Amino acid sequence: MSICAKSKIFVLVGSPGSGKGSFSEFCIKNFGWSQLSTGNLCRKHVSNNTEIGKHIDFVLKSGKLVSDNIIFDMVREWLIEQINLGKSILLDGFPRNLVQAEALNSLLNEEAFRNICLFVVKFVVSDDIVIDRLCGRLVCKNKNCQAIYSSAKGSLSRPKNDMICDKCLKELEVRADDNIETIKERLKVYHEHEASLLDFYTKKEKNIIELDASMPIKNIFCSFEEAINLMGLDS
């Protein structure tokens, strides 16, 4: 018997490069869940040169956070569209600070979201490992795909063909913010907010699933499956 028969939202908390995106790809493929990556949405706006895109391009390149209002409007619109589909949801990259966590909390208290259970998944990994990973990361140029690969020799995530996406056959690229200077800024911003974010959810007595994110993605996924089975959750 499941302890939570309601729809589930998994808030993924982890530094840049901790594997939240790859983990989401796994859950989509294996469980059919939905993912909202606020980073992917932001990059789509930039690529489509929308009004929002023009406004946030520079922020993304600097590694700082986009304003809470812009992000929250995107999330709210997406969640309202998704909620009736009844699928479990992965929030990848949101909330990223206390203000966003509080805004999400208020939204989930609204009538339309009455049937939601929230869980937090924490990705634990050192900065040294993620810096290495991000320096070798490749992503699909197609903004409707944005699949993630690694250029590291021997990595299981290398594309089958050099610089070509296995999924949509478009070209791969290095993300504009995956340079050492911006990576360090993104890590700094992440560490500024991590404790208050986790504290918020601990005080709300939300279940926090901790994963060793230094492991290969398949192991991380197995640990997650074990954790949700132990908690009596259905996938």
Residue 140 makes contact with Zn ion by CB under 5 A: yes
Residue 168 makes contact with Zn ion by CB under 5 A: yes
Name which of ligand ADP, Zn ion, none residue 167 binds, using a CB cut-off of 5 to 8 Å depending on partner kind: Zn ion
First to last CA, the chain: 12
Residue 42 makes contact with ligand ADP by CB under 6 A: yes
Residue length of the chain: 235
- Tell which one of 34, 88, 100, 150 touches ligand ADP (CB under 6 A): 100
Residue 94 Cβ vs ligand ADP, minimum distance, rounded to whole Å:
4
3-class state of residue 33 by DSSP: coil
Task: Report the C-alpha gap between 108 and 122 in whole angstroms.
Answer: 20
- Contact set for ligand ADP, span 110-169 (CB under 6 A): none
Name which of Zn ion, ligand ADP, none residue 71 binds, using a CB cut-off of 5 to 8 Å depending on partner kind: ligand ADP
CA-wise closest residue to 108 among 175, 22, 9, 13: 9
CB atoms within 10 A of CB 39: 19
Based on CB atoms, which residue is closest to ligand ADP, 118 or 233? 118
Residue 39 makes contact with ligand ADP by CB under 6 A: yes
CA-wise closest residue to 182 among 22, 39, 84: 39
- Residues of the shown chain interacting with Zn ion in the complex, contacts defined by CB under 5 A: 140, 142, 145, 147, 165, 167-168
